[in-house]
Amino acid sequence: MGQSGGGKDRVRQRIGEAIKAQIAAGTYRPGARLPSTRALAMELGVSRTTVTAAYEQLLAEGYLETRPGAHTRVARGLRPHAQAPGLSPPAGPARLSAFGQRIAGFGAPGPFPGRQPAIDFRYGDLAAADFPTLAWRRALNAALLHRPDRLRYGDPCGTPALRVALQGYLWRARGLRCEPDQIIVVNGSQQGLDLCARLLLDPGDRAVIEDPCYLLARQTLAAAGARLLPIMVDREGMRTDRLPAAARLAYVTPSHQFPLGSVMSVARRQELLAWAARMDAHVIEDDYDGEFRFDIRPVEALQALSGASRVIYLGTFSKTLSPLLRLGYLVVPAALRPAFATAKRLADRQAPGLEQDALAALIASGAYERHVRRMRRRNAERRAALLAALAAELGDRVAVEGADAGLHLVAWLADLPRRQEVELALRASAQGLGVHPVTPLYDPSAATERPDRAGLILGYASLDEREIRGGVRRLAAVLEEMRAAGPAHRI
Amino acid sequence: MGQSGGGKDRVRQRIGEAIKAQIAAGTYRPGARLPSTRALAMELGVSRTTVTAAYEQLLAEGYLETRPGAHTRVARGLRPHAQAPGLSPPAGPARLSAFGQRIAGFGAPGPFPGRQPAIDFRYGDLAAADFPTLAWRRALNAALLHRPDRLRYGDPCGTPALRVALQGYLWRARGLRCEPDQIIVVNGSQQGLDLCARLLLDPGDRAVIEDPCYLLARQTLAAAGARLLPIMVDREGMRTDRLPAAARLAYVTPSHQFPLGSVMSVARRQELLAWAARMDAHVIEDDYDGEFRFDIRPVEALQALSGASRVIYLGTFSKTLSPLLRLGYLVVPAALRPAFATAKRLADRQAPGLEQDALAALIASGAYERHVRRMRRRNAERRAALLAALAAELGDRVAVEGADAGLHLVAWLADLPRRQEVELALRASAQGLGVHPVTPLYDPSAATERPDRAGLILGYASLDEREIRGGVRRLAAVLEEMRAAGPAHRI
C-alpha cells in the first residue's frame, strides 16, 4: 500500500527525486547500473526497505528497468532531459481552431473580481438577501439524505423528477404545454444557447438577432460561425417585416425584449412563426425574465402559440433564484430531443444531481412559486423606487423605456450625446457608482435607428431602496458635473 | 400588480382566454370592435375592473389595440390561427449542423433509468456510502451562510479560492506545478475534454487516441470532426514509436491507461512530448483516476515533466467524491488561458458558485485529502476481494490486466471467444449481474492487436465485498452455463 504518509514516505520520495535529478543531469545515463539497494541504504543511512520502495516507484514510472536476478538499470529508452530535442515552449501564440480564433476577438472576460462600485446597477446581479437560503438548505440536505445506493450518471437531459416538476410549472406559469421528454436541463440558459448554436448552425449560416441584443447571445451565435442578421426592434418587438429571405435561426426575447423591454405583439409572433415555417428555421425564445411582469400577468410564451413546432424555449433560474446556481432548461421540439440529449452528454454528461433533486423538491412543494411571487413584489418595490428617483432627480432629462417587466429598465439621457456614454460610466465609477451603457448591445455593423443620446441599462434587482435613491442622486450629480464641464459636452 | 392570485385573477384569466379563442376561431376578426368593458361586465356578471384587467392583458400581449377615446379592437395585424399559413410541423427530420449530424451517429444515450442489475460492475459508479455526506453538508451550509451581498457572475475559470486550493493539492498529490491562473474549473472532465476539442480541432484535423480508449473521449474528438488515429497500447502505455507524422492533438491516459491499466513509461512520455513539440500539437493528459494507485505512490503526472508546455491536464472529482457532483478542472498552458476562459464563459458562464466554495473549503481544510486516503484504502479492500474471488472462482480461466491502479480491472476470459462477449453480458444481465464488454472501447476502424478472447471491464468502486464475491460467483456460473451449452461455444 505504501500510502501511510509518514516520515519514511518522505524519505523514499526524496530518494526518488534525487535519482531522477541525476538521470536528468546525465549522471546516470540510459542503461547505467544503479547501486544495489543495500549499498545505497548504507550510503544514505536509511533502511533498505525505503530504498527498495523508492526503486519500485521509479520502476513503475519507467525510469528504471530490471530483470529477475539482474541489476537495476536506468531505462534504456530514456533520454536525459538535457538531450531531449525540441522541448522548448511553443513559439508564438497557440494554434487554435476556427472556433477558437473566432472567440479570441471577443476579449477575455475579467478581471475578476473587478473593482466593485458601492452601488452597482449592473444587470443580472441579484441581492443575496433575496435567495431563499433556508428553503434551499433544507432541500439540499433532504436530497443528500435521499441518495440512491449507487452514484452513477443518469439521463443527460435531467432527472425525471425535475423535468416533471418543470412541466407542471411551465404550464401553470407560462401557459406552455410540453412533455417532460422535451425538457433538457442545462447549466443556465447560456449552455442552452450554446447547444442550440452547435446543433443548428454551421459556419456561414444566417442567424437573425434583435438589435440591440444580449451580448452573450450575439457572441454565442458568432462563435458558431454564423452570419448575423440584426433586426431593429420597436414598441411591438422585432420588426418582423424586415425578416430576411433566408436564415437557419432566429434568436428573440418576445416576452421582454432585452434590453429595450418591448413585448412582441401577437401579430408579429405569428409572422415570426410563419416565417420560420417557410424557412424551415428554428426560433430560440429566450424567456430570461418572463416571471417578472408588474402590471399584468406574465405574457404568454411564444412556444405556447399554435404552430410553434420550430420554437426552442429557453428558461432559467438565474433571475428567480441565483445566477450562481447555474440551472436552466430548454424545451425543444420532440424531433430535436435525441440530438440535444447526445450534445448535452458530450458537453458535460448532465447537470449536477444534488441540485436537480433540490430544485425538483422546491418546485413540487410550491415553495418555488411562492418565492417567485415574493420576488415579484420585492422587485416591484425596487422598480417603483427607481422610477420615482429618476423622475425626482432628472425629471424630463430622462426618458425611461422597458420598465413594465423584468429587472431592469433603459434610461435615455436627454441632454447627453451618445458619444459621452463611456465618459459618463467612467466618471460614475470614480464616484463609486456602476452604470452600464446600452451601446455595446447594438450590433456595430448594423445601421439600426436609435436615439442619439446616451442610454444606460439600469438593473435594480441587487439594490435596496436606499441604494437606488442614492445611486440616482449620484448619477444626477455626475451628469451635472459633466454639464458644468463646458459646452463641449452639450449636444 | 394584479398578481394576488385570488379568484378575480382566475376570472380575468378565463375572460382573456375566451376572447383569444374567439379571435382564433374568427368570431372576432382583425380590426373588429370588442364590446365595451361595461357591456361585457354586465353580460358576464362580473365587475368592470375584472374585464378591464382582462382587456389590458390582451392589449399588452398585442391581441387588442386601442387609441385614446376610441373603442378597443382586435389588432389589425393579427391572423386568426386557422388562416395562418405554413404552420404545420416540420416535415421530415430536423435540419442539423455538421456537428449535429456527426453526433447523431453516436446513438442517443439511455434509456434512463435502465433496468439496473442487482450487482453491477459498471465502471464509473461509486458507492453512495463512500460519499463524505456530513463533511459536504457542512461545507455547503457554511458556503450558503458566507455569501457576499450580491449574487453575480464571477470568473468563468472558477473562484480564486478553489483554484488556489487546487494548485496546492495538485502539487502535493501529483507533483504538478502550475499557477492558479492556469486552472480552469469545469463541470467534470467531460466538459474539459469538450472545450479542448472545440478550441484545438477543426473538422479534418488529425487527433491521436489510444486504442482501446474511453468511449466518450473518442466521441468528443469525433464530434469536433477530427480524423482519429488510434494507436495501440502495451504494458508501457501507448506505442509512441507509432505516432503519426502529423497531428494536432493526442489524447492519453498515461497514469493508468483506460481501460487496460498500463502506466506510460518515462521514455515514452518523453517521446510523446518531443513528438508534440515537433508537431506543435497539444497533449491532453486525462488523469481520471490518478489518486488510486495501490502498490506505490501515484505516478507523477505527464504535466509535471519538463518540456510539458503543450500538455493540458484533465482532473476530476467524479472518482473521489461523486460523478453527480460535476466538478473537474483543466490545467492549461498559460498561452491558452484566455481562449479557455472565453470558451468556458460561452459554454455556460461558470461552474456553480456554492459547490465551488464548498469544494475549496474541503480541500483547504485537508478533509478532501483525508477522504481520498480513506477511499484508497477502501478501494484497495474491494480490489483485493475481486482479485481473490476471480482467482478462486475462475483460476487460470481468467487473466487480469491493469489491477495496480484505478477503480477497475480488465478480465480476459481464457475459454470464451471475443464474439461471445455480448452473449455473456446478456446472459449475465438475465441473472441480475451487470458486466461490460471491453470491445466497444476498441476503435472499430483500427487493426489493433488484442486477445481473441472475451474481455470485461470490471469496475468495483460501487460494490461491497459480499457483492463482489457474489458477482464473481454468478459470472462463473454464467460461464459454466455457456460452456455447457455446447461445443459451438468453445474457441
Do B140 and A143 form a contact (C-beta atoms < 8 A)? no
| CB proximity B177 to A under 8 Å | no
Per-residue confidence (pLDDT) for residue B109, from 0 to 100: 62
CA distance A486 to chain B (A): 37
| CB proximity A322 to B under 8 Å | yes
Residue contact B78–A266, C-beta within 8 A = yes
Q: Select from B61, B138, B145 the residue whose CB has the most chain A CBs within 10 Å, as the one to mutate to test that interface.
A: B61
Do A285 and A302 form a contact (C-beta atoms < 8 A)? yes
| CB proximity B96 to A under 8 Å | yes
Q: Which three cell numbers stand for residue A314?
A: 429557453
User: Residue B61 above 90 pLDDT?
Assistant: no
What are the φ and ψ backbone dihedral angles of A183, each rounded to 5 degrees? -90, 130
What are the φ and ψ backbone dihedral angles of B346, each rounded to 5 degrees? -70, -30
B380 burial (CB, 10 Å; 0-12 / 13-18 / 19+) is middle
Q: Which residues pair with B434 in a beta bridge?
A: B120
Q: Tell me which residue in B145, B198, B323 faces A152 most closely, judged by beta carbons.
A: B323
Q: Which three cell numbers stand for residue A219?
A: 457572441
User: Residue B100 above 60 pLDDT?
Assistant: yes
pLDDT tens digits, one per residue of B199-222: 999 999 999 999 999 999 999 999
Beta strands in B18-70 (DSSP E): 64-65
CA distances from B16 to A236, A304, B13, B39 (A): 20, 15, 5, 15
CA distance A489 to chain B (A): 34
Q: Which residues contact A313 (CB under 8 A, 6 or more apart)?
A: A170, A176, A178, A285, A287, A301, A302, A303, A330, A331
pLDDT digit string (tens) for chain A, length 491 residues? 334 445 677 788 878 877 887 777 666 778 888 878 887 777 677 888 888 888 888 888 888 888 777 788 888 877 755 444 334 444 455 789 999 999 988 876 655 555 688 999 999 999 999 999 999 999 999 998 888 888 999 999 999 999 999 999 998 888 888 999 999 999 999 999 999 999 999 999 999 999 999 999 999 999 999 999 999 999 999 999 999 999 999 999 999 999 999 989 999 999 999 999 999 999 999 999 888 877 666 677 888 887 778 999 999 999 999 999 999 999 999 999 999 999 999 999 999 999 999 999 999 999 999 999 999 999 999 999 999 999 999 999 999 998 888 899 999 999 899 999 999 999 999 999 999 999 999 998 888 888 889 999 999 999 999 999 999 999 999 999 998 886 554 44
| Confidence label for B163 from pLDDT (cuts 50, 70 and 90) | very high
CA distance A253 to chain B (A): 13
Give mean pLDDT, residues B243-251.
Answer: 96
Do A404 and B60 form a contact (C-beta atoms < 8 A)? yes
Task: Enter the pTM of the model.
Answer: 0.86
3-class DSSP state for residue A200? helix
Do A75 and A63 form a contact (C-beta atoms < 8 A)? yes
User: Residue B236 above 70 pLDDT?
Assistant: yes
**B 185-244 residues with CB < 8 A to A:** 186-188, 190-191, 194, 198-202, 205, 216, 219-220, 223-224, 236
pLDDT tens digits, one per residue of B259-279: 999 989 999 999 999 999 999
Cα–Cα distance between A416 and A489 in angstroms, integer? 7
Q: In what order do the strands lie in the sheet with B237-238?
A: B183-186, B328-331, B311-316, B282-286, B249-252, B206-211, B227-234, B237-238
Residue contact B324–A354, C-beta within 8 A = yes
Per-residue confidence (pLDDT) for residue A59, from 0 to 100: 85
Please give the single-letter amino acid code of residue B239. R
Higher pLDDT, B171 or B91: B171
| ipTM confidence | 0.86
CA distance B467 to chain A (A): 13
Q: Which residue of A has its CA nearest to B106?
A: A342
Per-residue confidence (pLDDT) for residue B429, from 0 to 100: 92
Please give the single-letter amino acid code of residue A340. F
| CB proximity B350 to A under 8 Å | yes
